[in-house]
Amino acid sequence: MLDWITTMLRSVDMLPDFSSARGIFCTIAWLSTAISLLMLLLSLFSDIGGDDMDVTDGDTGALSVRAIVGFALGLGWGGFIAIQSGAGVWLAIGVGFMLGLIMFFIVAGIMRFIYSLKSDGSLNYATLVGMTGTVYVTIPPRGEPGGQVQVAHPSQMITMAAVQEGDVPLPAMTRIEVISATTYQLVVRPISPVSHNK
């Protein structure tokens, strides 16, 4: 199998080696192609490749493994094609370097865009204060636990434990406003007065 691949690559003059500029460009091209395919497989079949594996500031998404591999792809294939087209070594290096930079910024831009769409599922509970919702499970009076509310946060529908400071239970479907929030429960008040049913 390996002999067949070697023969095929030699027949199209794409066999990697370190004896010439063409061979070095070809080596870089094939190696970066193999790494990019491996990263694609990892991202498809596991969580290992799901993140960008940043080696610097994750907010920029610039110096990441994928962006560096993109640079290597542009450098290798750009230089190899330039050499095959009859360009000199220095011109091939220039072409490869420029194409590598273009690939670098394209990949970095794509990854940054993906990061901007990506949600880690976390929620800043302070943003719930002032939002309205409805009682899901009757909330007992005077801070007693056991009640639940549903609040339509812009990112998701949230069902959370809730308490209230009033003297009258808040039955299901009562409209409420969140007046304070922690990770574990909300403190709410009814938007309109609730009558005590005797």
Domains and CATH numbers, the chain: 2-117 (no CATH), 125-190 (2.40.50.140)
The tens digit of pLDDT for each residue in 98-155 reads 998 998 888 887 777 666 554 445 667 778 888 888 988 888 988 888 888 988 877 6
User: For position 62, what pLDDT does the model report?
Assistant: 42
Strands (E), 49-169: 132-137, 147-153, 156-164
Backbone angles phi, psi at 77, to 5 degrees: -70, -35
CA-nearest of 52, 48, 89, 51 to 68 is 52
User: For position 122, what pLDDT does the model report?
Assistant: 61
- The model's pTM: 0.48
Per-residue pLDDT at 159 exceeds 90: no
Q: How many residues does the chain have?
A: 198
Could you give the C-alpha distances from 49 to 27, 37, 113, in angstroms and in order? 24, 11, 17
Strand partners, 160: 149
